[in-house]
Amino acid sequence: MTEPTFSAQPSSSLMLDLIITCADGLELPLQTELSSFGIVSDIKSTGRLSVSASLRDLYTICLWSRVASRVLMLIKRKNINSDYDVAEQLYGLAKSIDWTQQFDLEQTFAIRLSVDKRVAVSQQFAMLRIKDAIADTFNEAYESRPDVDSKNPDFAIFATVNDKQAELYLDLSGTSLHRRGYRVAMTDAPLKENLAAALLYSSDWHLKNKENNAPLYNALIDPMCGSGTFIIEALLMHLDYAVGIDKAANQFGFYQWQHHDESLWQTMIDEAQDRHRNALAIALEQPDTLPLILGFDADSGAILATEKNLIAAGLQDLLPLIDLETRALDKLTHTLRPMVKDGRLSNPLIITNPPYGERLGDEDFIRPLYQALGLILQDSFAGSGIDPMLGILAAHIEQVDILPIKEPKTLRCHNGAITVYFRYGQLIAGQTGNLVSDFEKREIKVEEGQDFINRLQKNLGKLRKQAAKQNVSNIRAYDADLPDFKVAIDLYGDYVHVQEYAPPKTIPPETAKKRFNLALMGIREVLDINREQVFIKTRARQSGNEQYSRQSNSEKKGKFYIAKEDGAYFYVNFTDYLDTGLFIDHRNMRARIKANSKDKSVLNLFAYTCTASVHAALAGAKKVTSVDLSQNYLDWGKQNFVLNGLDISRHKYQFVAADIFEWIKDNTEQFDIIFIDPPTFSNSKKFQGTFDVQRDHAALINRAMNRLTTGGVLYFSNNFTRFELDEQLTERYEVTDITHQTIGFDYNIKKPIHQSFEIRHR
């Protein structure tokens, strides 16, 4: 290829061979953007698109592109042999160009070089040889040479070398196009502006409705907006703001280029400014034409940063039209659902950059955060018939794999030095499954197991009505109702947890096994489910902490499922422990705690997986403290908090791994609500070597009452079938037996599975 002969053509007819560069992974969004300008492009390689462009196209890209990094004009390319001296071949390529036709002696230049790792050459020496070739060209013509200015050159010459070819380009963009001037306030792990714009293009934010030319989306929602980059880029795009105007004064590389058309350039700048002014005026005069913009973050500092950046971006007049709130995820449904019902969110784009771990602090809580976002959004749009577009960034692909997205697309890209994945597509409407509500009685014939099937169907028929009335999806469906089928069957949403009671020694093992297999077959037939939905355990009398210990004979270990209860979500484990992490029999007790927790200080002793704590937090408790001896269970509890969108970094939520007796003795705080649900027996090193609920409950309650406010309430519950409350407690405090109120409709009220009491100061 020969060097261009521009002087023979008027600027209006110039056709330029351009390479438009971008960050790795943004090639498709950049191509989408160029197409919206009417510019055809081809993806040449990673981060590089080729364009045959007019001068107007060049100015359009420099002025309007939100995704591109640089615009390079090809000067010359040449095949090379990487087995020979590459630096000298670069000298020969550069020397074959008449640089005096490109720029003048008075102008400065700089060399930038990109070398493929397969090419063995010193980058510094190769750059020096290109510079020597340019200097030699000028010396031969004028016996003088232009100066090198590596920081602010008039001409930036960009060279690329791979094992087959070398190319020389003129950098017409000068400074990198991705830089904006509005970022005056930062948060942790900020989102790059060009990346935000690229993801908005990927999500079709730039498109118009073909019928009425209105914006495709009527709203943009960022539930974790950070410093507001998505919001600002979306507004600038909607308001026809040419981001290159910020650099139009002196930063572009084509200003000193001999073929620059200043008149055309100035005309395009004026047109761009007029477009933005008109779009902004319409938005202010007719606010209904502006998509609804909602930005939320649990950190008030992030909301303040967003406001400052909006002002720096020249969008201060729009602040009254933008809804920015300090709001954690757990409040998102409460905010969005009314807007969904009144039609304000008929077709929204939900796009966000959750913390990868920098703001959250621990990778163990990132997966629950992504699951929380999906569940909360499903709750927000449930039953509306609206399937919003959802786009979310993540540092690891498995984080976005759990999102409920229909026909998802994934873009692998980079946010600075971090590789990230953008998953986008329509939100899948729907909730966790519910075997109770889905149950329909049908005729099932099974030899020897007919009595069991009939009883299970009868139970489910009765339970279904009550479950629907109380919106319950986790129930005990059967509890050793028939003497020949000694199992407990619990339904958790779409899963079945079957516990086989150890048979008496009088029953032959083969008989017990046969009956159990009949029961399993009956369960699958009655509920019309597959084997993967059924989890089996054998329940024998436990000692010490065995109830909470990991089970060693589990075949399906380590997987957590999600159960929903009264608007809250909990991780349950059907395989690794005897208990699942959610005690169904305490459903009513948790509801009682939730109903009384708003603006109260709540203490949960023997917190286990913190299910009662989650309900208290979601109800608006001003402080929730969860205490348990096991750090593992407290971590499980923290994950339950995050799964519900609760911000565990806030001081109002405390998780304390300690012996209950020692902690409550030393702690001096006062609490409005205290919940105590101790094990029947525990091997504690702190209290006489062991804890026995019958022996030690009075001492435990007395210590806890010292921490209860004057008008507060202590809820005490336990599952010891022969439990008797110490009479000294009834003499000292106001005690009410609330057992019958806390036993659910799915348990036998005549044989209560637990006893519970409400205790107050006299």
Least trusted range by pLDDT, from 221-235, 262-276, 353-367, 667-681:
353-367
Q: DSSP letter at 347?
A: S
Q: Tokens 């629907």 appear where?
A: 468
Q: Does residue 596 sit within a domain?
A: yes
Q: How far apart are CA 395 and CA 405, in angstroms?
A: 18
- Of the residues 427, 449, 470, the one at which a domain ends: 427
CATH number at residue 572: 3.40.50.150
Helix (H, G, I), strand (E, B) or coil at 759: strand
Q: What is the CATH number of the domain that holds 515?
A: 3.30.750.80
- The answer to whether residues 138 and 10 belong to one domain is yes
What's the average model confidence in pLDDT over 395-410?
Answer: 93
Q: Are residues 470 and 405 in the same domain?
A: no
What is d(CA 79, CA 76) in angstroms, rounded to the nearest whole number? Answer: 11
User: Please, which residues bridge with residue 325 across strands?
Assistant: 296
Give the model's pLDDT for residue 758: 98
Let me know: does 244 contact 65? Beta carbons within 8 Å: yes
Average pLDDT over residues 656-667: 92
On whether the CB atoms of residues 237 and 205 are closer than 8 A, the answer is yes
Check pLDDT > 60 for residue 567: yes
Which tens digit of pLDDT belongs to each residue from 470-495?
Answer: 999 999 999 999 999 999 999 999 99
- The domain that holds 21 is classified in CATH as 3.30.2130.30
User: Residue 10's pLDDT is what?
Assistant: 46
Parent domain of 528: 438-540
Residues 71, 20: contact at Cβ < 8 Å?
yes
**pLDDT of res. 540:** 55
| 420 in the same domain as 339 | yes
Q: What is the pLDDT of residue 369?
A: 94
Same domain, yes or no: 420 and 449: no
- DSSP 3-state of 44: strand
> Residue 71 carries which side chain, given as an amino acid letter?
V
Cross-strand partners of 78: 166
Q: Is residue 33 part of a domain?
A: yes
In a domain, 19, yes or no: yes
Q: Which secondary structure element, helix H or strand E, spans residue 427, and what is its range?
A: strand 418-427
Residue 107 lies in a domain: yes
Q: Can you tell me the distance from the alpha carbon of 39 to that of 352, in angstroms, rounded to the nearest whole number?
A: 29
- 435 by Cβ neighbours in 10 Å (0-12 / 13-18 / 19+) ranks as buried
Please state the domain count of the chain.
4
Query: What is the structure's pLDDT at 360?
Result: 43
Of 504 and 162, more confident: 162
Q: Which spans in 37-175 are helix H?
A: 55-64, 86-95, 123-142
Mean pLDDT across 371-376: 95
Task: Evaluate whether 105 touches 144 at the Cβ level (below 8 Å).
Answer: yes
Q: Locate tokens 């100015």: which residue?
A: 59
**CA nearest to 57, candidates 12, 23, 8:** 12
Instruction: Tell me what pLDDT residue 338 has.
Output: 96
**Checking phi first, is residue 689 left (phi over 0); if not, alpha (psi -120 to 50) or beta?**
left
Phi and psi angles of residue 534, each rounded to the nearest 5 degrees, phi first = -115, 130
Residue 646 has pLDDT above 90, yes or no: yes
Is 26 within the bounds of a domain? yes
Any idea which residue has 């303040």 for tokens? Answer: 304
Give residue-wise pLDDT tens across range 320-341.
999 999 999 999 999 999 999 9
pLDDT in tens, 697-722: 999 999 999 999 999 999 999 999 99
User: Domain check: are 501 and 632 in the same one?
Assistant: no
pLDDT of the residue at 101: 85
* Nearby residues of 213 by Cβ (< 8 Å), 6 or more positions away: none
- Structure letter (DSSP) for residue 485: B
The reply to whether 186 falls in a domain is no
pTM of the model: 0.89
Q: Examine the domain organization and report whether 289 and 379 are in the same domain.
A: yes
| pLDDT (mean) for 38-61 | 95
Q: Could you tell me if 112 and 211 lie in one domain?
A: no
**174-183, 218-227, 630-639: least confidently modelled range:** 174-183
State yes or no: pLDDT of 513 exceeds 70.
yes
Strand partners, 215: 208
